[in-house]
Amino acid sequence: MLSLISAIKIIFFVCFIVFCVQYWMQNKTFLTDHNDIAEIARKHTGTKDIQVSYKQIYKELKKRFPGHILPEEDTEWLFMNAGGWMGSMCLLYASLTEYILFFGTAIDTSGNSGRYWANISDTILKGSFRQWKEGELESKMFKPGDTVYHEWGEVTAVQWEGGTWMVEYARGFIPSTLGFALADTLFSTTDFVNLFYIMRVYTKALILEASTSLLEWKEFTKESL
């Protein structure tokens, strides 16, 4: 009987936390949105040199969101293993509720998308991406200039051809995505050096966002007085 009561208490506590987080996300101000990032990315599709495209996008993001994008010396391309696929990502901005990153793969790869407490969009710069949604009998192919949406709670099969590169934006409770994102690294590749690098750059992004938000809050308070 005591264990049943304890279980009910835990369930109510978890539901309360989920409600609070969801309410907070519905009422907070976000840095940007899916359409804004997709619009920036589409300006740089179709170029032969993806490094040039990424450099131009990075400069535009730095100009558009001063103080929020990681300085160039803190950005790095890191392997990401999740859901059976393998890619590489370069984190540019992250908070508890948003992130912007470059993502892609130099080899053909496929697997499970994961199911997140977040909405994710990817705008393709080069290559192709195939998505097969749960419950459907056909997949859909996306090409440069297309934006692929992965909605909250959704799961799909995903496939990239080698040489596919994109810009990714996510909005939701970002810490909830880390379980899937890091599971293969923890239990399959056991590449703990890579795990350290991923957590290090995410921590740097969180610290930068916290310091910038604090400065903006101080400026707002000063102007209000």
What pLDDT sits at residue 20?
Answer: 78
- Average pLDDT of the chain? 90
Q: Are residues 153 and 213 located together in one domain of the fold?
A: yes
Distances (CA, A) of 99 to 69, 75, 148, 171, 200: 10, 13, 16, 7, 15
- Count the residues in the chain: 225
Co-location of 187 and 99 in the same domain? yes
The pLDDT score that the predictor gives to residue 17 is 80
Residue 25 sits in the same domain as residue 35? no
The CATH number of residue 118's host domain is 2.60.120.10
> Are residues 24 and 41 located together in one domain of the fold?
no
pLDDT for res 84: 93
Domain that holds residue 153: 31-224
Please state the domain count of the chain: 2
pLDDT < 50 stretches in the chain: none
Q: Please indicate, yes or no, whether residues 42 and 110 belong to a single structural domain of this protein.
A: yes
64 in the same domain as 20: no
Say whether both 92 and 172 belong to one domain.
yes
Query: Is residue 94 domain-shared with residue 104, that is, in the same domain?
Result: yes
Note the pLDDT of residue 123.
97
Are residue 17 and residue 43 in the same domain, yes or no? no
